[in-house]
Amino acid sequence: MNFYRIDMDRWSRKPYFEHYMKESKCSYSITANLNVTTLLDRLQNKKVKFYPAFIYMVSRVVNSHTEFRTTFNDKGQLGYWDHMIPNYTIFHKEDKTFSAMWTEYSNDFLLFYKNYQCDMEQFGDKKGLWAKENVPVNTFSISSLPWVSFTGFNLNLYNGEYLLPIITGGKYFSDGKEILLPVSLQVHHAVCDGYHVSIFINDLQKLADSCEEWVV
């Protein structure tokens, strides 16, 4: 993994970044319904689990755009990672707790799915906040609320300098014609505008629609 520092004096986003980091500090979220009708059918035919497929899709979009990989490193320097690794939540039915798990990302879905299965087999039953230790610094957060088809979701972060996106998926439901999945995306306005979140949601939908190309 490599971290590339941003040259503020040459960065076209500098005035926006400074405004939303100093004068009008704010993060914001958007919730949209993802049409997963085709995706679910494909996954069921291939006997592939939905959650790792969702994690893969989100990770692929995050890794496709610099805005979603922009953050501060451990020295407080602004820049972006060359790639990001998903750090996602897993639920323990026995005691109704959750743990955080990370899985090495690959653009090849079958390889990522294999990595996911290996991690779940080795760490899936481990309790505590961190199921798999040695969390890489280039991770971003994904969580799931599979019990609620929410129409909005917001995290109240006290760290005003957390720039990476946070993605939450809900319970998919039928509107009578299609099967929809609520997806919430939280970002910091210093690095992401409405245009960027629309790209995220639209790219996610394209991946769901073109699932036959990557779920093989």
Across the range 37-57, mean pLDDT stands at 98
Tell whether 85 is covered by a domain. Answer: yes
Q: Is 203 helix (H, G, I), strand (E, B) or coil?
A: helix
180 pLDDT tier (thresholds 50, 70, 90): very high
pTM greater than the 0.95 cutoff: yes
Tell whether 95 is covered by a domain. Answer: yes
| Exposure string for 75-100, b = 16+ CB within 10 A, e = fewer | eeebbbbeebbbbbbbeeeeeeebbb
74 pLDDT tier (thresholds 50, 70, 90): very high
Q: Of these residues, 83, 92, 188, 189, which one is catalytic?
A: 189
Q: Name the packing angle between helices 50-62 and 194-209 (round to 10°).
A: 140
Tell whether 21 is covered by a domain. Answer: no
Q: Does residue 79 surpass a pLDDT of 90?
A: yes
Integer-rounded Cα radius of gyration of the chain: 17
Tell whether 139 is covered by a domain. Answer: yes
pLDDT digits (tens, 9 = 90+) for 127-171: 999 999 999 999 999 999 999 999 999 988 887 799 999 999 999
Strand ranges, E, within 38-178: 70-72, 78-81, 85-92, 97-102, 139-144, 166-169, 173-174
What is the pLDDT of the chain when averaged over all its residues? 97
Tell whether 23 is covered by a domain. Answer: no
CA distance 187 to 164: 6
Across the range 122-131, mean pLDDT stands at 96
The domain tally of the chain equals 1
What per-residue confidence (pLDDT) applies to 159?
A: 76
Q: Does residue 112 surpass a pLDDT of 80?
A: yes
Q: How far is CA 98 from the centre of its chain?
A: 17
Q: Is 99 helix (H, G, I), strand (E, B) or coil?
A: strand
* Residue 92 is among the residues annotated as catalytic for this protein: no
Contact present, 53 and 42 (Cβ < 8 Å): no
Domain assignment of residue 42, given as a range:
29-213
**Percentage with pLDDT > 70 across the chain:** 100
Tell whether 1 is covered by a domain. Answer: no
Tell whether 33 is covered by a domain. Answer: yes
Q: How far is CA 131 from CA 78, 97, 102, 135, in A?
A: 29, 12, 9, 10
Tell whether 20 is covered by a domain. Answer: no
Neighbours of 112 (CB within 10 A): 22
Vertex 20: Cα angle to 14 and 21 (nearest 5):
85
Q: The CATH number of the domain where 37 resides is what? A: 3.30.559.10
- Candidates 188, 36, 160, 166; CA nearest to 100 is 166
The alpha-helical segments, DSSP class H, found in 63-188 are: 109-123
Q: Does residue 56 surpass a pLDDT of 80?
A: yes
Q: List the single range of 45-59, 107-121, 155-169 with lowest mean pLDDT.
A: 155-169
